[in-house]
Structure 1
Amino acid sequence: MPIAGSRTLIAEGERALVVIRAVDSETRMSMLSMLSHSPMNVSELTAAMQLPHSTVNFNLKLLEAAGLLDVQYMPGTRGRQKLISKRYEEILIQLPGAAVSAQPNVVEISMPIGNYRHSDVVPTCGLATEAKLIGLVDDPRSFYEPEHVFAQIIWFRHGTLGYDFPNNLPHGAEASELEVSLELCSEAPEHDLDWPSDITVWLNNTEIGTWTSPADFGGSRGKLTPLWWPINHSQFGVLKRFKINREGTFIDGKQVSSVPISALNLTGQPQIQMKVGVKSDARYQGGVNLYGRKFGNIEQDIVMRLWYEFREGERPYIIK
């Protein structure tokens, strides 16, 4: 998407791959350079490039498919002519991975659901981007496809997915509270509004809590769910907040155990491991649907917030 009021294209996910392929050519880069000065029709561009008409048309189609060209049809001497101009001055590629933001005494990390590091899932299972399925449905091998980082919906019957969040606890600080929020629900064949599932979240192998999802929500389209996704399949989940602090662990503000944040042993650890899944001995083994910021109802990925305080006598470590 372009930045408002500018000629900068921000490309991410599968869109980024299309854009990268489009500019990965000296011929197409030369075309963009020529179109920087003024709009040209195909004949003018063919003459300037000194290439066959078919070659120019082929490369123009790739640039146009990537959204890098503006095309207008104007009256010409022999009917209408195609007038082509360059749409953007610069392209910003956003790489997949966690996005980190920091405020006084709190760090927030947004982790795409497809950016998991560990997969141990049992069918039914699968994953998809906002545009297509990844690999084969009900085949755990699909979770190792390179495209998994772009997933916007992931589902599995039981097992776990594991994520490694960076531990951005400052030197000399002590963690006071950690929260993970994510959109999720049960996983039924197609969907089922009466399909309970015990979904558990772990941090550093410490169980934070188990939420019993009542259903696999479908039948009405999620606010962000793309139109190609069948309406009778899972459409959206519920935003749940799992939190641990010095008093214990909580789900949506309700305390579920007395395990304190000190049990996570965050100090000195380079990462915070988070897992989500259904235990093999769970009462309700109704699976998991996990939604990214381009699927479901909530425009967010998995978000981790870490609150901290500096110990008495300690000062923030500042890099100059």
Structure 2
Amino acid sequence: MLEVGIHEADKLVQVAHALSTRSRVDILRLLNTRSMNIIEIAEALQLPVSTVANNVKVLEAAKLINTELLPAVRGAMKVCSRNYDDILIGLNSSVRSTRDGMKLYEVEMPIGHYGDCEVHPTCGMATHEGMLVREDEPASFYHPKHVTAQIIWFRKGYVEYLLPLEIPQNAKIQSIELSMEMCSEAPNYDNDWPSDISVWVNGTEIGMWTSPGDFGDRRGVLNPSWWLDWTTQYGLLKTWRIDQERTTLDMQKVSDVTLNDLYLNQRPSLRVRIGVKSDAVHKGGVNLFGKQFGDYDQDLVMRVSYTMDELE
């Protein structure tokens, strides 16, 4: 669920604008049950491909959908998926509950604030102002200034974050969402560079996503002016969701891991690891984007939906 409040005026205006035309609403309707490429959407709605492409850009900018470049018979095709089933607009900024009584807890962890790592070249990190450490020096990932990183890349290994679970003791977690912008890590960039990127929660692998490439065919929306044109530019926004039945990635089931597998009652935090396994088929590395790089104004976002059990 996407929750946006009146205290987030810019975000609210962007979402409202994305929903303000029938064409964009129809696109969201088509993406209700499956992903579709732009040509399929254009044919279904009987609209010009250029019109659909422009509307897709608006929906993607509002984070209502995400797009992924996949190989096609000629070149690549842009495949669209919907990010949310529901949108909650809160006009009272103090309200953090949905209409069905569900409560929401959200933490945005800067990507530089990892607590553990094991990385191998190519690797490096940068801030919005410049390179943060020497490239291809794994030891530099342990330097205290890593907390300021806004983009991180490595060919093999992982980074691991500890996210606080500041929820009441009698809370019953219904779902956990993890959202991040990421892609593969190739020399310079390569749109056709697959990488099997896995995510673990509390030591349990919840699933794997094969990133199609390290994207550099255009500049990232948020990239600083000093960032070179011939290197990694942007990633794809991926949303993992674990509930009481399964784990999904962008609404598609990726594993049978459930909340019960994560031992949530045994710790006040959530341990999230992102990396490429040593036995992965495609060892194509990872790029992680912070709020000031890539296309999406966010870091690693965790959203926890929960209900309240009555205390005995």
TM-score range, shorter chain: 0.5 to 0.7
Post-superposition Cα deviations, 1:152-197, rounded to whole Å, max 9, x if no partner, equal 1100001010000011231111111001000000000000011000
Is the 1:167–1:266 Cα contact (8 Å) retained in structure 2? no
- Measure the CA separation in 2 of the matches of 1:308 and 1:204: 18
- Measure the CA separation in 2 of the matches of 1:241 and 1:114: 19
Tell me the CA shift for residue 102 of structure 1.
Answer: 8.3
Structure showing greater Rg:
1
Count of equivalent residues: 214
Post-superposition Cα deviations, 1:123-175, rounded to whole Å, max 9, x if no partner, equal 10000001111121000111122221110110000101000001123111111
Match of 2:142 among 141, 144, 159: 144
SS of the counterpart of 2:146? helix
- Measure the CA separation in 1 of the matches of 2:166 and 2:226: 39
TM-score, structure 2 as length reference: 0.67
1:118 partner letter: D
Match of 1:201 in 2: 199
Match of 2:32 in 1: none
Is the 1:217–1:235 Cα contact (8 Å) retained in structure 2? yes
The aligned runs of 1:167-182 (5 Å cut-off) are: 167-182=165-180
The farther-off stretch of 169-178 and 115-124 is 169-178
SS of the counterpart of 1:285? coil
The percent identity for this pair of structures is 48
- Measure the CA separation in 2 of the matches of 1:171 and 1:142: 38
Instruction: Provide the aligned C-alpha RMSD in A.
Output: 1.4
Match of 1:103 among 86, 92, 96: 96
Q: Residues 158 and 296 of structure 1: is their aligned pair in 2 closer, same or farther, counting only changes over 3 Å?
A: same
Post-superposition Cα deviations, 1:244-273, rounded to whole Å, max 9, x if no partner, equal 000111100011112211111111412110
Tell me the CA shift for residue 309 of structure 1.
Answer: 1.4
Match of 1:314 in 2: 311
Match of 2:301 among 295, 300, 303: 303
Is the 2:165–2:270 Cα contact (8 Å) retained in structure 1? yes
Is the 2:222–2:293 Cα contact (8 Å) retained in structure 1? yes
- Measure the CA separation in 1 of the matches of 2:180 and 2:95: 19
SS of the counterpart of 2:264? coil
1:249 partner letter: T
- Measure the CA separation in 2 of the matches of 1:109 and 1:245: 18
Q: Residues 275 and 102 of structure 1: is their aligned pair in 2 closer, same or farther, counting only changes over 3 Å?
A: farther
TM-score, structure 1 as length reference: 0.65
SS of the counterpart of 1:226? coil
2:205 partner letter: E
Is the 2:186–2:214 Cα contact (8 Å) retained in structure 1? yes
SS of the counterpart of 2:260? helix
Tell me the CA shift for residue 282 of structure 1.
Answer: 0.4
2:96 partner letter: Q
Match of 1:112 among 110, 113, 120: 110
Match of 2:239 in 1: 241
Match of 2:274 in 1: 276
- Measure the CA separation in 2 of the matches of 1:194 and 1:265: 38
For structure 1, the 5+ residue unaligned runs are 1-100, 316-320
Is the 2:150–2:291 Cα contact (8 Å) retained in structure 1? yes
- Measure the CA separation in 2 of the matches of 1:180 and 1:273: 12
Post-superposition Cα deviations, 1:75-114, rounded to whole Å, max 9, x if no partner, equal xxxxxxxxxxxxxxxxxxxxxxxxxx98231100000000
Match of 1:58 in 2: none
